[in-house]
Structure 1
Amino acid sequence: MSVVLAKLIISLLCILLVSVVLYFRPQITLGLKNKSVVGVLGTSWVLLRVLPFLLIYLWADYQPTSDVNGFWDEGSKASQGMLVYKDFWSPYSPLYAYYLGLWLKIWYSPKMIILTMAAMDGLALALTYQLFRYKTTKEDLLFKSLVYLLLPGSLVLCIVGAQEDIWMWLFVVGAYLTRKRYGVVGFSLVMALGVLMTKAIFGLALFPLFLIEKEKIRFLIPISIVGAISVVVLYLTVGMEFMQPLDEANVLRAPNILSVINPWAFNLVGLGAKAWNWIGLVITISAGCLTAWRLRKHEYPVMLAHLWVTMYGLMMIAQQSAYSNYLFLFLLPMVFEIIDWNNRKQIFLLFVFNVLAVIHPSMWWRQGMPIYLSPTDIFAIPDRTIDYFIQLGIVCVTLYFVWGSFPRKKK
């Protein structure tokens, strides 16, 4: 359990640093007022992404583990010209492995995967800054950027876990910023690229965004053409193997609503049944569509942030194949828009959310990915009891923030 302990220690240190930063917020914000945006963001990224990378992977010579090995397998084979889905298995969109392969041309090492994730995280942060420029002051945005970079949910999941989920937020923000300059066609093309570069679940965002889109035909045509060409090319080269990413929906993970309810129902909920996957998708997309519709008259960045946290936060605990690493998918809009930084309860629960989400995947996996069939399973050994209550905590805190981001009707 050394990895779990290391992640816990790093997470608690991060929380301590964020607490200090929040305590001195007035002084720090005042100091940021006359600083260069590029200078602050660049220096912060180097200190909180590049420096930890150098310390962990070069100075301590720690070898990447877990998901990095899978990414390395895909990226290295793609860099050699092998065919995705045919020559190697992939749960990601077709261009994902080839994009990693391009980075591996610079440095052919699994450690380059970590640097790639750090670079994409930095780009997502920079685009998020641009997204909210209209809404608040420069110093406020820089302060939130610093907090984001310090939170364990971003630092650990990026530098230790090498998670790519932040890419989805990067593409949707990039699509919106492209639209401001090139119109709805540019927006549609960047969204299409996002679908081809990330995961199938990125496509879920298309439903609510299409619902509120005023130029529906102009949005639909480019993305449909790109999609049709992609399907034809994939079918001609790999047959039906391009459906591999959809197999991820059949993998049981935790935590989710079903995983915490199942033992108290004595395994009568039908855990693993495909019907639950469809129910989860319907609930997730419906919540996303309702959020977008109710906020359709608000500024687009505000609507987008609430949509993202509501839909993907709910997906994290409604889908049987999701797990707590998905916090990385919606942490940026939480920090910049959803969290009230004057609300101590929200800040405390955000801290709890980050720590639990960071340590749970490693703990759960190292325990043999347990599934609880009855209350007896929960209390059989202390490790399982701790694991279950961490799952329960993650589900409850996720629901809290999903409910906070979901727009209710005004009385």
Structure 2
Amino acid sequence: MTIILIKILVAIGGSVAFGLAYWRRSQLVNLPEATASRLLLSAFVLCRLVPFVVIYVVLGLEPRSDVPVFYDSASHALRAEVVYRDFWSPYSPLFAYMTALPLVIWHSAKAIVLLMILMEGLAFWLTYRFYRPRRGGVAQLAGLLYLLLPAPLVFCVIGGQEDIWMWVFGALSLWVWSRRPDEFRLGLLMAVALLMTKALAVLIVAALFFWVRRPLRYVAGLSVVGLPGLVILYWLTGEGMLTPLMFANMPFAPNLPTVMAPFIGDFMPYAGTLSALGLLAVLAVSAYGGWQLRRKNEDYDRALPTLWVLCFGFMMFVHKSSFGNYAFIYLLPLSFGLIDWRDSQQVVVLLVLNALVTVQPSYWWKLGTPIYTSPDMLTNGQYLLEYVMEVGTVSSVAYFVWLAFRQATANRHRAKQRIAA
């Protein structure tokens, strides 16, 4: 229960700090770039590195959540063992070897958490430096508000979550494309992302196929890296290479099926079918969004964050194996590339979503990961409270999915909404 109370305090404190910064948004937008850069660096140190030192060095607490799993697989990788064959890992084949790197210097699970913080810092820096010349002072506002959000702090520092890794490659692709638009190079980069992050990256890889003008060149880039990688992986591990797909059949919450469960009953007897339908729905909606963005010739710096939020937001909404931590996948591109900071409704929904996903996952685990297959279960006060958080989370995610879908499909002239304070 202690960790839940800590997360509640973080949610409250982060929301208050966010609100105060948003109240001063006009001053933040007009800060000189050098001053803003120092402010953002200070905010990153205060909101990421200082909590790390306090929690893991001063208090001496041990990492929780998925970090012990990361540490175990990284330890095996450090001994040059083969992933999927010699040790278990639910992530992409190179992920364990990447997380093994900090163990060379500091053989502790805490080193994994520090790596996750540095990877988020890299994603943030790449995103901010890309959008600052294009969005001006609004990028400064978006950057500070993102750092003050409670959910990324909890996901990164307390949870040691790796979901932000995918956006590292998304942000890198913005830089690669801006220097020389080339589908082949984009395919190369996305293939590396597939090998280094997690299986979910295949969703955005597929969605981009419908945005690029030369899809065959894009596929060629994917194949140059991807096919040899698959061949080597199969040679080393056989069917073990399918390990990352195992989570597709496990129920998590919150998502549309778990919110509907009190009314439709237990969906586990047809979980496989539901999982397949959810995956097909995500692929179809993402493909349609990519195609619409291509039809209106949307530039990549606007198309990618829109498509990213549409793809992973809809996945979080509709797939039965999605849970609150997946918001970490798209909060950064959502903040820099989609939200209109003049729209108070969007800002409030963002804050509500952050507060809910900060607390709900831990509370759900504390209750024993319940799926409410009958309305009678909701007569339990704790179950009802958790279910209300699920409904609020799913509704907030649906709002941003709708926002991204509207941005992807709107008339080009209407879609010229510029994020401003």
Tell me whether the two structures share a fold, i.e. TM-score over 0.5.
Answer: yes
Q: How do 1:171-190 and structure 2 match up within 5 A? A: 171-181=169-179, 183-190=182-189
Query: Counterpart amino acid of 1:121?
Result: E
1:255 touches 1:391 (CA, 8 Å); kept in 2? yes
What residue number does 1:45 align with?
Answer: 44
What residue number does 2:230 align with?
Answer: 231
Q: How do 1:167-246 and structure 2 match up within 5 A? A: 167-181=165-179, 183-246=182-245
Point out 4+ residue stretches in structure 1 off by more than 6 angstroms.
none
* TM-superposed deviation, 1:131: 3.3
Query: Counterpart amino acid of 2:17?
Result: L
Give structure 2 stretches of 5+ with no counterpart: 415-421
How many angstroms apart in 2 are the aligned matches of 1:78 and 1:24? 47
Q: Deviations over 1:301-324 (max 9, x none)?
A: 111111111110110121111111
* TM-superposed deviation, 1:270: 5.2
Give structure 1 stretches of 5+ with no counterpart: none
Query: Counterpart amino acid of 2:108?
Result: S
What residue number does 1:304 align with?
Answer: 304
What residue number does 1:142 align with?
Answer: 140
1:175 touches 1:187 (CA, 8 Å); kept in 2? yes
1:40 touches 1:142 (CA, 8 Å); kept in 2? no
How many angstroms apart in 1 are the aligned matches of 2:331 and 2:394? 16
* TM-superposed deviation, 1:358: 1.4
What residue number does 1:289 align with?
Answer: 287
2:65 touches 2:160 (CA, 8 Å); kept in 1? no
What residue number does 2:150 align with?
Answer: 152
What residue number does 1:404 align with?
Answer: 403
How many angstroms apart in 2 are the aligned matches of 1:225 and 1:294? 28
Tell which deviates more after alignment, 222-231 or 357-366.
222-231
User: Equivalent residue of 1:61, what SS?
Assistant: coil
1:272 touches 1:320 (CA, 8 Å); kept in 2? no
User: Equivalent residue of 1:50, what SS?
Assistant: helix
Q: Deviations over 1:20-69 (max 9, x none)?
A: 11111222333x32425654443332222111111111112121112111
Query: Counterpart amino acid of 1:300?
Result: Y
User: Equivalent residue of 1:62, what SS?
Assistant: coil
Query: Counterpart amino acid of 2:139?
Result: L
Query: Counterpart amino acid of 2:15?
Result: I
Q: Deviations over 1:359-402 (max 9, x none)?
A: 111111111111111000122x2111111111111111111111
1:179 touches 1:185 (CA, 8 Å); kept in 2? no
How many angstroms apart in 1 are the aligned matches of 2:179 and 2:334? 26
Query: Counterpart amino acid of 2:361?
Result: P
1:256 touches 1:323 (CA, 8 Å); kept in 2? yes
Q: How do 1:11-410 and structure 2 match up within 5 A? A: 11-30=11-30, 32-35=31-34, 39-137=38-136, 139-181=137-179, 183-267=182-266, 269=267, 273-296=271-294, 297-379=297-379, 381-407=380-406, 408-410=409-411
User: Equivalent residue of 2:370, what SS?
Assistant: coil
Percent of aligned positions with the same letter in both sequences? 36
How many angstroms apart in 2 are the aligned matches of 1:167 and 1:187? 17
How many angstroms apart in 2 are the aligned matches of 1:205 and 1:18? 30
2:253 touches 2:390 (CA, 8 Å); kept in 1? yes
Task: Give the root-mean-square deviation of aligned CA atoms.
Answer: 1.7
* TM-superposed deviation, 1:70: 0.9
Query: Do the aligned partners of residues 294 and 43 (structure 1) sit closer, same or farther apart at CA in structure 2, a change above 3 Å counting?
Result: same
2:188 touches 2:224 (CA, 8 Å); kept in 1? no
* TM-superposed deviation, 1:340: 2.0
* TM-superposed deviation, 1:223: 1.3
2:91 touches 2:244 (CA, 8 Å); kept in 1? yes
The aligned length equals 407
1:75 touches 1:97 (CA, 8 Å); kept in 2? yes
